[in-house]
């Protein structure tokens, strides 16, 4: 008896029992095969066959997503830190691809209050302090302005230096500098 035959046969029986015949069809069975599988002797013949009667295929896209998710522990921590520091939903969507509803759920889970509207613009003194932080931290970190993740790391460090400002405000200012070719 081949162990994978048994596993696939149990899946087929579960699908049939739960009325999920389309799943069986999607696996490659024909309608006539499904009629025969209502007979326990036919299912038994499949389960007890020493020869595998199916092809096992790897779905490369799914594997890549699962592996990325497994390696994404660091990314999850980065998202959490960005939200705690005050990242905006559009910022998280741009950097990590998370839709606004997902960002809202994560904020709720982290106990971060929801804020509506735009953040106030920085005054001259705040902008000058940020420029000083940018000059120092971007040099220390080797920040690449064309790499959004590199800029994110630097802006998070800048936010930690400025407790009265949040990451969204600092990110927007740095993006302005980048777009104007100032950095």
Domain that holds residue 22: 3-48
pLDDT > 90: what percent of the chain? 46
Q: Is residue 175 part of a domain?
A: yes
**Averaged pLDDT, 149-173:** 94
pLDDT at 158: 96
Residues 50-103 pLDDT 10s: 888 888 888 887 777 777 767 666 788 899 999 999 999 999 999 988 899 999
User: Pick from 136, 130, 137: which is nearest to 176 by CA?
Assistant: 130
130 shares a domain with 97? no
Residue 55 in any domain: the answer is no
Is residue 53 in some structural domain?
no
Residues in Cβ contact with 20 at an 8 Å cutoff, skipping those fewer than 6 apart? 14
Q: Tell whether 174 and 128 lie within a shared domain.
A: yes
Q: Are residues 129 and 170 in the same domain?
A: yes
Asked, for residue 28, whether it belongs to a domain, the answer is yes
pTM for this predicted structure:
0.59
Tally of structural domains, the chain: 3
């Amino acid at each position: 008896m081949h162990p994978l035959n048994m596993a696939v046969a149990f899946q087929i029986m579960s699908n049939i029992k739960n009325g999920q015949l389309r799943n069986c069809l999607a696996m490659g069975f024909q309608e006539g095969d499904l009629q025969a599988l209502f007979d326990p002797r036919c299912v038994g013949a499949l389960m007890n066959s020493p020869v595998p009667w199916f092809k096992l295929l790897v779905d490369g896209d799914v594997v890549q997503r699962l592996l990325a998710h497994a390696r994404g522990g660091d990314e999850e921590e980065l998202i959490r830190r960005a939200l705690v520091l005050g990242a905006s939903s559009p910022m998280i969507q741009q950097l990590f691809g998370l839709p606004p509803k997902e960002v809202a759920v994560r904020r709720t889970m982290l106990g971060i209050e929801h804020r509506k509207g735009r953040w106030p613009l920085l005054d001259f003194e705040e902008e000058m302090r940020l420029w000083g932080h940018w000059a120092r931290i971007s040099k220390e970190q080797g920040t690449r302005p064309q790499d959004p993740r590199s800029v994110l790391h630097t802006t998070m460090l800048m936010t930690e230096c400025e407790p009265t400002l949040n990451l969204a405000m600092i990110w927007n200012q740095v993006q302005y500098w980048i777009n104007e070719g100032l950095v």
